[in-house]
Amino acid sequence: MSAFLQENGTELVTKIVEHIYISFVALLLGVIVAVPLGILLTRTKKIASPIIALVSLLQTVPSLALLAMLIPFMGIGKATAIAALFIYSLLPILRNTYIGVKNVNPDIVDAAKGMGMTTVQQIFSVEFPLAVPTIMSGIRLSGVYVVAWATLSGYIGGGGLGDFIFSGLNLYKPELIIGGTIPVTILAILVDFLLGRLQKVLSPKQEEVA
């Protein structure tokens, strides 16, 4: 391993940064889209099941097949990898947001209505804060998925640690495979830990509100 670091140390740092960038942008886009959509679906329950089913269907598409479908429209590179990872990040966040907001204690919601709160005020002052721990669970799960799946970006020239893994497979060099796999595993564990800590920090605040 020391020989690998001596030969590829600088490139390894570059690939780690690329991997983090691809994963972060994809997860951020997933949060920006899925959280508001999940909240909206609690207000339009007739279309909630079809929308969640559609997102679930996208999740079942094999990753390489999804990349292949996106390449004719977006070409190869980071943008295509981010788009694919964004699609894969949606389901856990969307589903947890919908469930979290939907399962807020109805008595608390009724109390908010009795205080004269508008629907928007109810969402931002009562329902969303109480649902944050559940929403964070979905974000945490998506974060781990995205970091792991980001290795596929190397398959389409998107960079990241997948470059080492695919190069190792093509050249039959185990050290390259290990050199890419170990950092990905560490990143996934780190993301899970950090988002888990954030979830714990947010959860007591919600209990106080409740």
Give the model's pLDDT for residue 1. 63
Cα end-to-end span (Å), the chain? 51
**pLDDT digits 0-9 by tens, 10-65:** 899 999 999 999 999 999 999 999 999 999 999 888 899 999 999 999 888 888 88
To the question of pTM greater than 0.85 for the whole model, the response is: yes
Fold of 2-209: MetI-like fold (1.10.3720)
The first and second tokens of residue 60, run together, are 């079942």
Q: Average pLDDT of 159-164? A: 92
Instruction: Give the sign of the dihedral formed by CA 16, CA 19, CA 25, CA 28.
Output: negative
**pLDDT digits 0-9 by tens, 165-208:** 999 988 888 889 999 999 999 999 999 999 999 988 887 454 44
**62 phi/psi in degrees, rounded to 5:** -55, 140
**Do residues 196 and 140 make contact, with C-beta atoms less than 8 angstroms apart?**
yes
Q: Average pLDDT of 108-129? A: 87
Closest CA to 23 of 203, 166, 179, 192: 192
**pLDDT digits 0-9 by tens, 119-139:** 888 888 889 989 999 999 999
DSSP single-letter state for residue 154: G
Give the model's pLDDT for residue 206. 42
Give the model's pLDDT for residue 210. 41
Q: Average pLDDT of 105-127? A: 87
> Taking the C-alpha atoms of 119, 120, 125 and 130 in order, what is their torsion angle to the nearest 10 degrees?
70
Give the model's pLDDT for residue 140. 96
Q: Inform me whether the pLDDT recorded for 209 exceeds 50.
A: no
**Do residues 97 and 131 make contact, with C-beta atoms less than 8 angstroms apart?**
yes
What residue ranges do the domains of the chain occupy? 2-209
Q: Average pLDDT of 58-86? A: 90
